[in-house]
Amino acid sequence: IIMLVLAWKLEAESMGFFTKEEWLKGMTSLQCDCTEKLQSKFDFLRSQLNDISSFKNIYRYAFDFAREKDQRSLDIDTAKSMLALLLGRTWPLFSVFYQYLEQSKYRVMNKDQWYNVLEFSRTVHADLSNYDEDGAWPVLLDEFVEWQKVRQAS
């Protein structure tokens, strides 16, 4: 996950490599002129994940960073991998949501769905007791809640 945070700090456009310009601009903003200084920034970079505002920016950045540039959505396998990286250790319902995505009809995740998964993970209780069926959630999340309630009832 540290590489994702670093890519966010470098404002990298594509997963898998940094342009020379991205690298130099990012290293300057981090005040790093050698690998030792970059390594010394790892704790700072990790701390960005604990800041609510920074995490939200990293999470939103991850969507565009991970998607194929000619696509408007993330393929579902990439979305699942990125969600595991970003929410897997902190969202109590993550493993259940992952299972749902595994068996669902969804093959891609659009930006609205992606953004709303984070909001859902932050606001809806693990037992779904405060889920508002009349809320403005994407159908993906409505169907997840329905699926989970059926599972809980059986």
Average pLDDT over residues 29-34: 94
Contacts of 107 by beta carbon, 8 Å cutoff, 6+ apart: 75, 76
**Residue ranges of the chain that CATH labels 1.10.238.10:** 1-50
Write down the CATH superfamily of domain 1-50. Answer: EF-hand (1.10.238.10)
Taking the model in full, what pTM does it have?
Answer: 0.92
16 falls in which pLDDT band (50, 70, 90)?
A: confident
Q: Which CATH superfamily is domain 70-154 in?
A: Cullin, PONY binding domain (1.10.238.200)
What does the DSSP 8-state code read for residue 22? H
CA 150 to CA 134: how far, in whole Å? 19
pLDDT (0 to 100) of residue 154: 84
Per-residue pLDDT tens digits for 107-152: 999 999 999 999 999 999 999 999 998 889 999 999 999 999 999 9
The whole-number pLDDT of residue 108 equals 98
